[in-house]
Chains A and B, each alone.
Chain A
Amino acid sequence: MLKNRKVLFCLFAAGSLIVSSKVISAEDAGQAISEEDLKLYQSGINPGEVFAQEVGGALFNKPMGTSNKSCASCHSEEKLKKVVGTYPKYEPKVNAVISLQQRIQMCQKLNQGVEKPFELKSQENTALLTYLKYIASGEKVNVDTSSNPVVKDYYNYGKYVFELKRGKRNLACSSCHENAAGFVLRMQRLAPLGFEYNGIKGTTAAAHWPGYRMTQSRVVTIEQRFQQCMSQAGMKVLPLGSKEMVALELYVTSLANGATIEAPGLVR
């Protein structure tokens, strides 16, 4: 009996020795990028700033459409920067909540007389959005979530989309950004998207999007980031500008209400 146990023990010990050399230690598994390391990224110039100024700024000042007017010819930047933080916002002309990207499209079509406004996924629309968010840096995020039934509907729908488990991994946005907040996923800490959740500090994400995504070497909008997240999490990707996406953008932006806009951000 004892002999069998000894053999079993030896086999077990040998087995675990072999296994442990391939398995990462608990220490390594929980290791996350440190605050000092993250600070190293913050010094220097964010390439997104060059994109905002040179590309976005150029478009903002470029006469377009049948009107042959530029955005700048109608809009004073001093006034414009105050409204940036209120988007996504209710637009009476379409009786819906629209994103700032969609508002740019509306302006192009209705006021500049552009027959085909820049697509939501285009670098041009992203550049204009980035420029607007860039000049609004320093202002506060301030979206309305309750002033009329349409806005309320979008807000509630956005919260529903955020909390809906779907896709092959049965995950919701809230699975990682609320329930698992504070845990480490492949060396990065999962963070809430507002100010905090359950005592874990959040990133007030909407205040620093659009962001220059280092892994893609380009500026990405918040809705594009949602799509990339959804894809990674095994969920079907929602279309840009759809009611679901705008509602989700409204909800996630509302989590950052009161935060100071600092865009474009520098993100993975």
Chain B
Amino acid sequence: MDRRSFLKTTAFATAGLTLGGSVLFPSNAAELVDNPPPKKPYEEALKEITKGKPVSDSDKVKLVAPEIAENGAVVPITAEVELPIEQVKAIHILTDKNHNTRTLSVYFTPANGKAYISTRIRLAETMNVVAIAELADGSFIKAQKPVKVTIGGCG
């Protein structure tokens, strides 16, 4: 298609397109700062949660995560503890190679009926997702899964 006819067709497309600022999304410049937030490596996050207490693997903690994540920005994970809700105080989700490895902590009460959390997390690269269950008796159990993060097909 030659340039002249190409421009003619785009004229319709650009008619009335001189709207200035967005009505809904006024472009406020993003706030810029000198430093990123501090790193929180896995060992530190673990210590924060368990205060040095041992954590044992348990098949009572069910962690569902994809083997290969379609993208690193949205990775679906579900963690559930197969124990009566009265016995479970919290579920902590950790992502061992992220900048901040302490991704999400959920604190339950018996009103929840079930110790279950499902969400979408960010993974900077291939790493382990760890679900640590904090039990009412003060002990900790966990399950973990390696998740491969890909560049993905076409951008």
A: residues with CB less than 8 A from B are 31-34, 36-38, 40-41, 43-44, 55, 59, 94, 96, 102, 105, 109, 115-120, 122-124, 127, 176, 185-190, 214-215, 217, 228-229, 231-233, 239-244, 268
Contacts and interface: CB of A to CB of B under 8 A. Distances in A.
Interface stretch (B22-30, B79-87, B96-104): B22-30
Contacts of A187: 68, 148, 150, 152-153
Interface string B45-88: 00000000000000000001111111101101010000000000
B18 A116 contact: yes
Nearest to A42: B76
B13 interface: yes
Please give me the 5 A-B residue pairs with the lowest Cβ-Cβ distance, nearest first: A241-B13, A188-B153, A243-B9, A37-B66, A214-B74
Nearest to A231: B155
Nearest to A105: B16
Contact of A215 (B13, B22, B23, B71): B71
B19 interface: yes
Nearest to A189: B153
Interface of B: 1, 6, 9-10, 12-14, 16-20, 22-25, 64-71, 73-74, 76, 78, 118, 120, 148, 150-155
B140 to A, nearest CB: 26
A236 B63 CA distance: 44
B25 A244 contact: no
Contact of B66 (A33, A94, A105): A33
B10 to A, nearest CB: 5
B108 to A, nearest CB: 20
Contact of B76 (A44, A124, A189, A241): A44
A117 B19 contact: yes
Contacts of A232: 154-155
Given A33-B70, A124-B23, A242-B13, 8 more contacts: A37-B70, A43-B76, A102-B12, A120-B13, A120-B17, A242-B6, A242-B9, A242-B10
A135 to B, nearest CB: 19
Contacts of A118: 19, 23
A215 B74 CA distance: 7
B64 to A, nearest CB: 7
B13 A55 contact: no
B17 A119 contact: yes
A116 B19 contact: yes
30 contacts: A33-B66, A34-B67, A34-B68, A37-B70, A40-B66, A41-B76, A44-B118, A55-B24, A94-B12, A116-B16, A116-B17, A116-B18, A118-B23, A119-B17, A124-B23, A186-B151, A186-B153, A187-B68, A187-B152, A188-B150, A188-B152, A214-B71, A215-B73, A228-B155, A229-B154, A229-B155, A233-B154, A239-B13, A244-B6, A268-B152
